[in-house]
Amino acid sequence: MLNYLSKRENPSGFLNFLPSEVEMFGEEKMLQRLKSSSPRFILLVHTDSSDDGFRFFGQDYGFGIYSWIQSEYTPVRKIGAMPFREPEKFGILILKRNEPAGLSAHNP
């Protein structure tokens, strides 16, 4: 929905990264798709997935994807609470892809 509202294409092809999708498609396949599409921005949107048997992305499932995001992206803005910390507090974390070594915004 956020891609649609912001008029941006979802380069991964996956609608979301909830436990059911990670189980259905496989975490490795989802991670490879993210790596190959290398989106400029990633939004981590708080979702409590307790109904699926897993509470939070990166803590209870999606470890590899979350780890890759942390190593390849830098937080640029937080809206509300930090996602995946407290069940009752909603928040979104916007992350921007890190520039490759030797490149900067002034030297593309």
β-sheet with 91-97: strand ranges across: 41-45, 91-97, 73-80
- The Cα 74–Cα 77 span in angstroms is 9
Question: Is residue 104 pLDDT above 90, yes or no?
Answer: no
Please list, in sequence order, all residues whose beta carbon lies within 8 angstroms of the beta carbon of residue 65, skipping any fewer than 6 positions away: 17, 22, 27, 30, 31, 34, 57, 58
- Rounded average pLDDT over 40-63: 89
User: How wide is the angle at C-alpha 85 spanned by C-alphas 10 and 80, nearest 5°?
Assistant: 65
pLDDT at residue number 15: 76
Rounded CA-CA distance 12/10 in Å is 6
3 state DSSP class of 52? helix
What confidence score (pLDDT) does residue 53 get?
Answer: 83
Contact between residue 57 and residue 97 where contact means Cβ atoms under 8 Å apart: no
- pLDDT given for residue 14 in this prediction: 79
Q: Has residue 7 got a pLDDT over 80?
A: no
In the chain, domain spans? 2-97
Per-residue confidence band for 9, with pLDDT thresholds at 50, 70 and 90 = confident
